[in-house]
Amino acid sequence: MLDMDRRVQPVRRNAMAVLAAALLISAPWLGWWTLAPLVLAIALFKIADRQATRVAHPEYALFGAWIGSEAIIALSVALSGGPKVATMAWLAIPIVTLPARFSARGVSVGVVIAVGLLLAVAFATNAHAVLQDPPLVIAPASLIIAVAMLSMALMRSDIEHRGECLIDDLTGLLNRKALASRSEELVQQSEITGEPVGIIAGDIDCFKKVNDRCGHAAGDAALAHIAGRLRTQLRAFDLLYRLGGDEFVVLLPGADLGESEAIAETLRIAVDAEPLEDGSPVTMSFGVSASARGEPFRYRDVLAAADAVLYVAKNQGRDRVLAAPPHEYTNDRRQDHALASSGAPVGM
C-alpha cells in the first residue's frame, strides 16, 4: 500500500495542478475563492504522507486524507452552485487513486462515500433541480461507479503482472528484485527526511539438515512456515524479503539500531516458539545494522554490516541476534577489525 502511495504522489500533484489551472481559467465565472479548498486538499495530503510512515496503521491516515479530499471537493461544488455546476464530475477524480492503495472493501466504502457526498450536495443546494432533472445526479454517480470498476480491473491486472516479477512463489514474500527497487527508494527518501533505516539479515539455523533429513518438500514447507511466522511479527510498513535458499532480509524504514535490534529479537523468539509441522524445533540467527538519524542511508554498506554480524552470530552458537556497532558500516576496515576481534573469519 505504501509503495503504491509513493507511486501515486507525483501523479496526484500533477492532477492537482490541472485542477488549479482549470479553476484559474474558470475564476471569472466561479470566483477566485474556489482555489482555497484546493490548497487545503494539498495541505491535507502532505500531512497524511508525512504521517503514513510514522504510525502503526498508515492506511487510516491515507484513507482519512482521501475522505478529506472528497469532502473538500463536495464543499466547493456546493458553494459554487450545486448540481448544475460542471465540477460535480470532479468527485470521480479521487476514486481513481483508491484501488492503488486499498482493498476491494476500501474501494467500495470510498464509492459509497463519494456517491453519498454527491447526493448530499445536490439535494442540499438545489433539490428542485434534481427532482426536475434526475440525470444531474445520475450521470456523475454513474461516472464515479464506472471509474471505480475500471480502475479496480486495471489495478488487479497490474498487481498480478508485477507480482509475477517481484513475489517469491514459495513463500509469497517479496524477492531480491523487489528489494533492489525498494532500497533505492529508501536511499532517496532518507536524503530528504534524514530518518534512519534498519536492516535485519537472517537465515535458518542448520537448514541443510532439514532438507537432508526430511527431503526438499519438507524444506519448502519449513520455509513457508517460517516466512509466515516472520511476517506476522512485523509492522505494517516493514518489508520482508526472501533472497533465496533460507536467507531473509527485513527493511525497517524509520527504525534506528536499537529499534531494529528489538524487532529482530521479536522475530527470533517467534520462530523459536513454534516447531515445524513434524514437531522438529527450528531457530534463526539474525544480524542487524541501521543508518544513523540525520545521515544518508547507504543500503549496500548497511546490508553488508548486517550480513557480517549474522555470520558472527552463527559462529557464536546460532539462535541469537547481533547488532553491528553504530556507524560500523561507514568503513570496511573497521568492519573487518570488528569481525577479527570477535573471532570470526573475515570475508566468510
User: How is the chain split among helix, strand and coil, in percent rounded to 5?
Assistant: 70, 10, 20
Looking at 22-26, 61-65, 75-79, 343-347, which range is the least confident one? 343-347
Query: Average pLDDT over the chain, rounded to whole?
Result: 83
Instruction: State mean pLDDT over 168-188.
Output: 88
Query: pLDDT band at residue 116, thresholds of 50, 70 and 90?
Result: very high
Q: Determine contact, residues 125/87, Cβ cutoff 8 Å.
A: no
Query: pLDDT band at residue 334, thresholds of 50, 70 and 90?
Result: very low
- Give the H/E segment covering residue 123: helix 104-132
Query: pLDDT band at residue 24, thresholds of 50, 70 and 90?
Result: confident
Separation in Å, CA 310 to CA 234, 319, 321? 19, 10, 8
* Comparison of pLDDT for 107 and 65, the residue scoring more: 107
Query: pLDDT band at residue 337, thresholds of 50, 70 and 90?
Result: very low
Residue among 202, 193, 190 nearest 291 (CA): 190
Separation in Å, CA 116 to CA 36, 103, 113, 121, 241? 23, 20, 5, 9, 41
- The maximal CA–CA distance of the chain, rounded, in angstroms, is 86
Looking at 116-120, 157-161, 222-226, which range is the least confident one? 157-161
Task: Report the residue count for the chain.
Answer: 348
Q: What is the pLDDT, as a whole number, of residue 327? A: 61
pLDDT of residue 136 exceeding 70, the answer is: yes
Query: pLDDT band at residue 2, thresholds of 50, 70 and 90?
Result: low
* Comparison of pLDDT for 300 and 38, the residue scoring more: 300
- Please give the grid coordinates belonging to residue 12: 496526484
Q: What is the pLDDT, as a whole number, of residue 138? A: 94
Intervals of CATH 3.30.70.270 along the chain: 176-342
268-315: pLDDT as tens digits? 999 999 888 777 889 999 999 999 998 889 999 999 999 999 999 999
pLDDT > 70: percent of the chain: 86
Q: What is the pLDDT, as a whole number, of residue 338? A: 41
CATH class, domain 176-342, is alpha beta
Instruction: State mean pLDDT over 69-84.
Output: 82
